[in-house]
Structure 1
């Protein structure tokens, strides 16, 4: 994808894929990014390690796609909530590291 030309919020959108274990996995899409060719991708947040706490990355999956919350079944909504929960202990750890930096 070339340089992004337009970014907008992705309210209530999720990316989904079938992971290596064959299970359905969801990630909340934070932003939509479009390039000059008109390609659109969802960006989701991730964590690499303590040094680089948070970043956005392309959510395209070979065995998945995007789905809006309103189009999910109740079971899918439950799974999406579980997969998208914030780890409060990790958040506190990162905040403490930021305060000490």
Structure 2
């Protein structure tokens, strides 16, 4: 994505993809970012690097897309809640990783 020109909230939007194992996975979209060419991407949170435990990145488009909460089936909503929930143990683990880096 080229330089972002506009960022706006993405209330109740989710990025979805089909994993290598064929499972549907969801990530909550935090923000929409539009570049100067008009390309719009959803930014989702990530924690793949211990040095940067919390960051935003472009949601992957391969084998997926975006869906609004109201357009999901009840089963999709249940899966999205499960995939996007951060429990207190996971939060403590991320905080411990941040302080030990």
Cα deviation digits, residues 17-67 of structure 1 (max 9, x gap)? 100000111000000000111000000000023321111010032111000
Partner SS for 1:49: coil
Q: Tell me, yes or no, if the aligned pair for 1:30 and 1:45 is still in contact at 8 Å.
A: yes
Partner SS for 2:86: coil
Q: CA RMSD in A?
A: 1.8
Quote the residue 1:76 is aligned against: 76
Unaligned runs of 5+ in 2: none
Cα separation, 1, equivalents of 2:24 and 2:98? 34
Structure-to-structure mapping, 1:56-75, within 5 angstroms:
56-75=56-75
Distance 1:64 1:56, change over 3 A: same
Unaligned runs of 5+ in 1: none
Quote the residue 1:53 is aligned against: 53
> Taking structure 1 as the reference length, what is the TM-score of the superposition?
0.89
Moved over 3 A (4+): 93-101
Aligned pairs, number? 101
> Taking structure 2 as the reference length, what is the TM-score of the superposition?
0.89
Quote the residue 1:20 is aligned against: 20
Distance 1:70 1:96, change over 3 A: same
Partner SS for 1:50: coil
Distance 1:55 1:41, change over 3 A: same
Cα separation, 2, equivalents of 1:56 and 1:38? 20
